[in-house]
Structure 1
């Protein structure tokens, strides 16, 4: 027999609020897999951050060094000697690429293909080449180590059709200490800039348009420098010892 009290109890059991209460009472037990997933994600993020910090520390220990070491020869800090060495290099460039002799500005990119730091300076070299791709006003010279084998030199020329790829020569007496680096000279081989693209792990500059603005000033007939930007540390590789013979 169903009494009024029984009917009220059944109605209460069927009420939406009652059902919600039942659902809420069992939800903590069903949320355990979600908690485990959140914990796992947190652990993975922590491991990733720790690995990134360790990788940055390792990178700094392996790659960060002065552009010119403290015990480097004094010639590497002399604007006059650097300018003389670059002038000798430009004579060789004009002899090998006579069609480039009329360029108003010469940019020399110090390049060691085995250096892991090339990527951090790529944006600077790309900005210069993209702004003056033809080479009529600005010729872009890639200076490779004297130890670079002929086959790799030919490959570099093939991959850089808008650049003049040369090997360094001891006869130039150019005091090279590190790469990547940059030299900018006017048409009469007057030195405007020599040194690093930038300093720090990312080769950063306070003015990212520094080099393009410098070249534009030289093209306009203005004087600039000489400026040696060598006092700082960043991602650099020591310039290969020229006494090591190329290996084919």
Structure 2
């Protein structure tokens, strides 16, 4: 009887160990898929023209943001500075992503919320941006820059805004790029 009890005990301990290891493997797989992934990745931006956040008449910029994204840190200071500078030149700004302001940095908290249009349901991620010209035509969709950090020298969008303010056309609404992006929730 003692030998049978010992065998059952070993079997139960073995099953518990296998269950524990399987749970540990699943938890690692889930954590890695959710948090430990490469954020700098290839992305395909393509957006059909939709009405801008405000009535046409001025250049408009939509910041697409996802709070908690590791990619945000390299863009926050530039985003504040760039938004402030171009607001003084008449550019209108809005934000998309979560509708609440919790977790949003500086200037984004003050911008009007504009939900991503249903036509853009496959938006590749954030931080990214959409820009319309003064006539209300979509001029640019894509990331701020090609990496995890953005400044005046590495910005994709600063030349676009300057060109639009000078009255010249821009049309970059489809592009393959590599950028630091997080999925939108």
In 2, the alpha carbon distance for the partners of 1:228 and 1:127 equals 27
**Which structure has more helix as a fraction of its residues?**
1
Is 1:105 the counterpart of 2:50 in the alignment? Answer: no
Which residue of 141, 145, 153 maps to 2:94?
141
**Closer/same/farther in 2, CA of residues 140 and 238 from structure 1, 3 Å limit:** same
SS at match of 2:77: helix
Q: 2 CA distance for matches of 1:189 and 1:209?
A: 22
Q: Distance between the aligned counterparts of 2:56 and 2:62, measured in 1?
A: 16
Partner-residue secondary structure (3-state), 1:167: coil
Q: 1:123 aligns with which of 77, 81, 94?
A: 77
Matched with 2:130 is 183
More divergent stretch after superposition (210-219 vs 176-185): 210-219
> How far is the alpha carbon of 1:67 from its aligned partner?
4.8
What is the match of residue 41 of structure 2? Answer: 66
TM-score, length-normalised on structure 2? 0.64
Instruction: Classify 1:126/1:196 alpha carbon distance in 2 versus 1 (closer, same or farther; 3 Å).
Output: same
CA-CA distance at 1:121 after TM superposition: 1.7
Deviation (angstroms), 1:113? 1.3
Distance, in Å, in 1 between the alignment partners of 2:85 and 2:151 is 19
| Matching of residue 236 in structure 1 with residue 181 in structure 2 | yes
How many residues get paired?
151
Q: Name structure 1 gaps, 5 residues minimum.
A: 1-60, 69-75, 95-100, 241-248
**Which runs of structure 2 are paired with 1:1-248 in the superposition (5 Å)?**
62-68=37-43, 77-78=45-46, 82-84=47-49, 87-88=50-51, 90=52, 93-94=53-54, 101=55, 103-134=57-88, 137-145=90-98, 148=99, 152-153=100-101, 160=108, 162-170=110-118, 172-200=119-147, 202-203=148-149, 207-208=153-154, 210-232=156-178, 234-240=179-185
Relative distance call for 1:122 and 1:63 in structure 2 (3 A) is farther
Q: Tell me, yes or no, if the aligned pair for 2:78 and 2:152 is still in contact at 8 Å.
A: no
Cα distance per residue 1:194-230 (max 9 Å; x no partner): 1111223x33579335533321221121111225444
Contact 1:139 1:163 in 2 (8 A): no
Compared CA separation, residues 239 and 198, structure 1 to 2 (3 A): same
In structure 2, distance between residues paired with 1:223 and 1:193? 11
Q: Note the aligned Cα RMSD (angstroms).
A: 3.4
